[in-house]
Structure 1
Amino acid sequence: MRAGDWLVLLLSAALVGALFWMTLHQDSAARVRVFQDGKLLGEYDLGVPRRIEAHGPLGVTLVEIEGGRVRIARDPSPRQYCVKAGWLDAAGQVAICLPNRTSIELVSREKRPYDSIAY
């Protein structure tokens, strides 16, 4: 290997390390946005426990907020991917129920964290 090869390898390793650090140090979420059919249904504080019902074409999707985190507790979609996502607590995380056209997105008080969607 030549000197240029080592330089490229070193810079690549530094870039991977920086991206890994950014991924681990995302802000915790402060609020959740609930969308129904592409429109904002509401934005809610994660510090206040509550249940939100979003009415979609297949039925009711139940969004549950508790202990600074949020999840989709119940959904009429056949495969239940959004329910299987479980509890979300970091800014930038999302859960999407496509058949029922419902989604949730966690946001922080600060700037939007780096993720593949924001990139």
Structure 2
Amino acid sequence: MSHKKPSPTSLPTSPADWLSLLRPGDWLTASCALLLVVASFPLLWRGGTADAVVVRKDGQAVAQLPLTTAKKIVVAGPLGETVVEVQPGRVRVLSDPGPRQYCVKQGWLSRPGAVAICAPNHVSLTLTGRDAGHDSLAY
């Protein structure tokens, strides 16, 4: 009894050749999988809404502000003043004396668990709220 190896010419080489091998059940399975992924994405990849921001200096909370009204707060740090701007549903570091401006460049934060850290000036912001999906460091 001899077993023959398939010749290299019998294997599909182009995408059209591979598509011709798919049966209706294969298309149904792929379609159902795609539909499941598309449907689960908005359901699983969302956090709740943030309701407040905690402003810290040297790890100690200096203010906890609701995200319902517009307000600006100034926090004095070792390098100077950090200005935090609150708008309904979002918050940002408006200005900071740090040299690289990472916390300013982070822009508006609106999801619970989001964090902005102005390390040189020892100031940080953390958004609080229900259903925080994950922290901003896991993005």
**TM norm structure 2:** 0.65
Please list the CA deviations of residues 84-116 of structure 1 after superposition, one character each: whole Å capped at 9, or x if unmatched. 0000000010000000000000010x2543347
Please list the CA deviations of residues 1-56 of structure 1 after superposition, one character each: whole Å capped at 9, or x if unmatched. xxxxxxxxxxxxxxxx779954x211110000000111001111000110011100
Extract unaligned runs of 5+ from structure 2.
1-36
Tell me what 2:133 maps to: 113
Extract unaligned runs of 5+ from structure 1.
1-16
The higher relative CO (CA closer than 8 Å, separation ≥ 6) is in: 1
Asked if 1:51 is matched to 2:72, the reply is yes
Q: How many residues align?
A: 101
Tell me what 1:90 maps to: 111
Distance 1:115 1:20 in 2: 18
Distance 1:116 1:70 in 2: 14
- Residues 1-119 of structure 1: pairs in structure 2 closer than 5 A: 22=44, 24-108=45-129, 110-115=130-135
* Superposed CA RMSD: 2.3
Distance 1:115 1:82 in 2: 16
Higher helix share: 2
Give the match's secondary structure for 1:44: strand
Higher radius of gyration, 1 or 2: 2
Counting aligned pairs with the same residue, the percent is 42
Alpha carbons of 1:106 and 1:42: their partners in 2 closer, same or farther (altered >3 Å)? same
